[in-house]
Amino acid sequence: MSDPQGLAELVSLEGRVAVVTGGAGGIGSVVVRQLLDAGADVVSADVHGADCVEGAVQFSCDVGDICSVERLVAAVNRCWDGMDLLVHCAGITSDAVLWKMSMDAWDKVLSTNLSSAFYLLRGFAPLMRKRQRGSVVLVSSINGERGKFGQANYAASKSGLIGLARTAARELGAFGIRVNVISPGLIRTPMMDVLADEHVEAAIQETVLGRVGEPDDIARSVLFLVSEMSRHVTGQVLRVDGGQLIA
């Protein structure tokens, strides 16, 4: 017999405190709405001046700056005396082939996409340990698994998130904290708007579902990974790519 009430309880985030980085972005803003709808108190952390989703608490944070992240952690702890959920959506690109890539482009992408995740985990792990529970989702990319022409910095940063997540899953599991990765394919965000039509079409042709992914596809997967629906899942990479990278 079906149990709708039991299912609702499994996906409910009532009483949970969530932090979403890149919370004003194309994927992050939809994740914020999804977590709010599930009942969580949500902190949307993004760069200064970024719009905040209604209902979330906005906090200006440059995730590539450890001091800025430490201020975010202190503010969350001050307001809620702990936290439960971390979703790291913040990320940038700065493309060029290896021999033309500037050191600034390399450093900026690695700092924003990868070092930031270490800063966040290092800062928030004690807050989750305090509650003896928690779930972390790092948003990577299929390009971090396969590499991508002109994206040495981006691919390296997204690949690094996978190793970091699996290590964190091993270190934090004893405290009831799960750490997983979502690996999106091409998703309809402002980042996609800068791509040439032929590159978008080529990506669509790579998928087996024959379409571009939507931010909601990522948000639903995030809800699965942070809820009790996935209580025995940790250290995993969930591809949300329409079959773009089947290996």
Is the pLDDT score of 45 beyond 70?
yes
141 pLDDT band, cuts 50/70/90, is very high
One-letter-per-residue 3-state SS of the chain: CCCHHHHHHHHCCCCCEEEEECCCCCCHHHHHHHHHHCCCEEEEEECCCCCCCCCCEEEECCCCCHHHHHHHHHHHHHHHCCCCEEEECCCCCCCECHHHCCHHHHHHHHHHHHHHHHHHHHHHHHHHHHHCCEEEEEECCHHHHHCCCCEHHHHHHHHHHHHHHHHHHHHHHHHCEEEEEEEECCECCHHHHCCCHHHHHHHHHHCCCCCCECHHHHHHHHHHHHCHHHCCCCCCEEEECCCCCCC
- Please report the pLDDT score of residue 2 as a whole number: 61
Residue 37 has pLDDT above 90, yes or no: yes
- pLDDT, position 3: 61
Q: If pLDDT is split at 50, 70 and 90, which confidence band does 89 have?
A: very high
pTM listed for this prediction: 0.94
pLDDT, tens digit (0-9, with 9 covering 90-100), for 109-122: 999 999 999 999 99
Please state, rounded to an integer, the average pLDDT across all residues of the chain: 94
pLDDT above 90: residue 1 = no
> Active-site residue numbers?
154
| Domains (range + CATH), the chain | 13-240 (3.40.50.720)
Each residue's pLDDT tens digit, 210-238? 999 999 999 999 999 999 999 999 999 99
